[in-house]
Chains A and B, each alone.
Chain A
């Protein structure tokens, strides 16, 4: 079967140990996490995990079932990639050897709607938000200048419209 990326959203108990038990299950079952982002939700005792996994249909089904089986995981859904807003944020630190490089980078950043958030005599830091492809493309474009450091958040996503993953 075809392997591709799937985005899974889970509502979990917001308490210590939950991330460990989810991550541990992935490791134990030999599922690979491509990216994971975790944060509080609209309710303060719940957290939301957005996990991307790569695999075929059968694997994603197993992932969802095994997640559901964890007692601290309250709800798990697979997000429909055609009907979501999915975003990732990255901070990219680039080496700037001269004024020309600096202005080139600022120009590119503009095109990508990235913001320059820090400047030093030898470096410049850009903040970029968007789909993962866009971030990949931006980082690739920066490589010739010298990418010193990258920090990416991993994908986070919500379904469009009224459809939602939440606990009433």
Chain B
């Protein structure tokens, strides 16, 4: 037992969790914690310029490192500004801890402020209940050590997700005897990680007999660090692997068995081959509507095995034949163990040949002259320049879909994108978080001009805190993805999508003390990227592209996988 203030207990508990960085913005209701941080060199505080950026940065940190990211904000508007970032982390199962200040629960002069609409009071517990895995509001300082410990435990175990701790100011100031323990006992929370043996054996039986297996590998593979197990199983089965957006990178995309992404803008090979599957092994994925298209046309002839750590995902969207509730890594290990007893690794198979044939047929051709700044070419060029372990984040819209389609990801945690919520403005602050987690690797945000404007103010943070990242603005002067829908489905009635040519992104970067450069050819682009990833200061590369580009292939909203088209003419 040690006597200390609530604020000290918060910081001490964070240190015990080996937190190295907090992304946040100060305010009245978190002054006591910031006062403690002032003398805590072990924890680096990174001053964001908007709380949304702080939350996305914590999220990017978590996705790049696999360790929970921490963000902090003051009460009221500070806390509500975090909400988009928290909701984003929730949708993509990313472990972040959000600390918010709150008005006094019991003020020194015994006036109770919570619930009285005090200055800068917001009911952040009520607001975030649907978008957090759990949230806490300690009423006494002595509860803090246990709460912080539990918060990290909940955020990082089972299906990961955000946890918020709302700290009334008086609780931060109050002193108490603190007891720090390593034990966590939450009677309503016992995540099940070991697969049921009977179910594993059924899955093994089905996979053993499968003639045309396909693996759909989602974000759960990345969360459970199951890439080696996935690779081993895919090779043993000679099964091609496709990933929804969240799984991108969990399987090396240059592998002969990789089909690339599945979804609204997935690859044609993945879309075609998954429909030929007789057994679909879906791991750590929630069958989002963006992935499956119309449900009754999603693999109607395949038997489906679904492995997920979240029981509630089983049968939520797709009815499955063999559910396995377990940690992906453990389940894949078990399946592999029993399958190797029955199956020899083969050099080739009928199905493997078919996979190669379809992949060859449906390879995308990327052509154009030197001055043609076509996004797919730019992204392929970027891949050539970046080392394998470089981290790419994306914004939302066409930029994101081009990146998903054309950036070959080799390793897990190297492709970071807002999948579930589709949050414009995520990529840039997430790149800052990723760079803090992995300072020795280049981090590049593939951006659209619309999205970048939503969080561009954190250029100030990246410059001042010396967190150099590269932002590639695929600048089409429109809200491109929306314009694409208007072009294809609303008779080219371009309502509210024109962004004009403001701002000048080069000048904008320079105004923040970052580097800005505009490129006019593929060559200039590669030179600029090469320079940027070595630069000690953040670089914004402005790449003017045509506002008329479409992302194809595409499955129109409401259609099934079979409805994929590869050009406007096919619609």
Which A residues have a C-beta under 8 Å from some C-beta of B? 12-13, 17, 20-21, 24-25, 28, 58, 61-62, 65-66, 68-74, 167
Contacts and interface: CB of A to CB of B under 8 A. Distances in A.
Contact of A28 (B130, B133, B310, B311): B130
A45 to B, nearest CB: 10
Chain B interface size, as a band, is 10 to 19
Contacts of A13: 188
Interface string B130-145: 1001100000000000
Contacts of A167: 187
20 contacts: A12-B188, A17-B125, A17-B129, A20-B129, A21-B129, A24-B130, A28-B130, A61-B315, A65-B314, A66-B312, A68-B311, A68-B312, A69-B311, A69-B312, A71-B133, A71-B134, A71-B186, A71-B189, A72-B188, A74-B188
4 nearest A-B residue pairs (beta carbon):
A65-B312, A74-B188, A71-B189, A71-B134
B316 interface: yes
A71 B125 CA distance: 15
A62 B312 contact: yes
A74 B315 contact: no
B339 interface: no
Given A24-B129, A24-B130, A73 B188 contact: yes
Contact of A69 (B186, B310, B315): B310
Contacts of B126: 20
A61 B314 CA distance: 10
Contact of B188 (A17, A62, A70): A70
Contacts, number: 38
Nearest to B139: A16
B259 interface: no
B311 A58 contact: no
A95 B173 CA distance: 59
Nearest to B130: A28
Interface in B273-318: 310-312, 314-316
A62 B315 contact: yes
A17 B154 CA distance: 18
A167 B125 CA distance: 27
A13 B189 CA distance: 12
Nearest to B311: A65
A17 B316 CA distance: 26
B315 A71 contact: no
Contacts of A74: 187-188
Nearest to A62: B316
A61 B311 CA distance: 10
A44 to B, nearest CB: 15
A36 to B, nearest CB: 17
Contact of A71 (B188, B310, B314, B316): B188
Given A69-B310, A71-B134, 5 more contacts: A17-B125, A65-B314, A69-B311, A71-B188, A72-B188
Contacts of A20: 126, 129
Contacts of A69: 310-312
Nearest to A66: B312
Contacts of A24: 129-130
A72 B135 CA distance: 11
A65 B316 CA distance: 10
A24 B129 CA distance: 8
A73 B310 CA distance: 15
A77 B186 CA distance: 19
Centre residue among A12, A58, A65, A70 by max chain B CB count within 10 A: A65
Nearest to B319: A58
Nearest to A23: B129
Contacts of B187: 74, 167
Nearest to B150: A71
Nearest to B163: A71
Interface string B388-412: 0000000000000000000000000
B314 to A, nearest CB: 8
A58 B314 CA distance: 11
Contacts of A65: 311-312, 314, 316
Nearest to A167: B187
A68 B126 CA distance: 20
Contacts of B315: 58, 61-62
Contacts of B314: 65
Nearest to A13: B188
Contacts of B134: 71
B356 to A, nearest CB: 39
A72 B126 CA distance: 15
Contacts of B312: 62, 65-66, 68-69
B253 to A, nearest CB: 33
A65 B314 CA distance: 9
B154 A71 contact: yes
Contacts of A17: 125, 129
Contacts of B311: 65, 68-69
A20 to B, nearest CB: 7
Contacts of B316: 62, 65
B526 to A, nearest CB: 47
Contacts of A71: 133-134, 154, 186, 188-189
Interface string B459-479: 000000000000000000000
Contacts of A21: 129
Interface string B157-186: 000000000000000000000000000001
A31 to B, nearest CB: 12
Contacts of B125: 17
